[in-house]
Amino acid sequence: MERLPPGQRWVEHLIPYDIGPVPGLDVARYRLKLTGAVAQPVELTWEQFLALPHTQVRQDFHCVTGWSVRDLEWEGVPTRAVVDLVRPQANVRWVLAVGREGYTTNVPYDHFLLENSLLAHRLNGKPLASENGAPVRLVVPSLYAWKSAKYVVELRFMPEMRRGFWEERGYHDVGDPWEEQRRWR
């Protein structure tokens, strides 16, 4: 099976992008809110987040700007673990990821639920670096990297789609790299 989606080229390392300055954070003050159309909204401290089940995922990572990195090893909490914690309503179709710098992105619920989707806090055996989204980054390898929101502080489960930062600026709502869903045509 081909590993490189159409329109992509391999690079050696992640190329960090941000929408603006990212405020520093003491992990002792970190909170992850799980909200929206759920049976049990939850706010997790850093220690509570780390106590959830963990997984490691080795995946290629594809940026909408045309670069891809092979075999990144992410470690963190599988998205299914937070789903089990909050029990989203049956009509949930989207998850809005919110970063602490104000970034948002909408993720189709079926991609959020995939086995290789996770809330990562480690990359290639090391704690996640600030430029890569520390302390927690949503990683959805089945979609372009802009859907893998950095600095995540909230996951909002929603029945209706709400466009995030790039989607409001014309980027595709799904963002499948194999379909080259970069922008709305």
Residues in the chain: 185
The pTM of the full predicted model, rounded to 2 decimals, is: 0.95
**The dihedral sign for the CA sequence 163, 164, 168, 169:** negative
Backbone phi, psi, residue 168, to 5°: -65, -20
Higher-confidence residue of 22 and 19: namely 19
Strands (E), the chain: 9-11, 31-36, 42-45, 55-62, 67-78, 94-99, 104-108, 118-123, 126-127, 137-139, 152-158
Cα distance between residue 162 and residue 81, in whole Å = 23
Single-letter residue type at 50: L
Counting residues of the chain whose pLDDT is more than 70, the rounded percentage is: 99
H-only helix segments in the chain = 46-50, 79-86, 109-112
Whether domain 9-14+28-179 has CATH 3.90.220.20: no
Q: ω before 135 within 30° of 0 (cis)? A: yes
Q: Is the pLDDT at 184 greater than 80, yes or no?
A: no
pLDDT digits (tens, 9 = 90+) for 120-171: 999 999 999 999 999 999 999 999 999 999 999 999 999 999 999 999 999 9
Single-letter residue type at 144: Y
pLDDT digits (tens, 9 = 90+) for 69-80: 999 999 999 999
pLDDT at 1: 59
For the chain, domain boundaries: 9-14+28-179
Q: Is the pLDDT at 22 greater than 80, yes or no?
A: no
pLDDT at 145: 97
Burial of 2 (0-12, 13-18, 19+ CB in 10 A): exposed
pLDDT digits (tens, 9 = 90+) for 33-60: 999 999 999 999 999 999 999 999 999 9
Cα distance between residue 75 and residue 142, in whole Å = 16
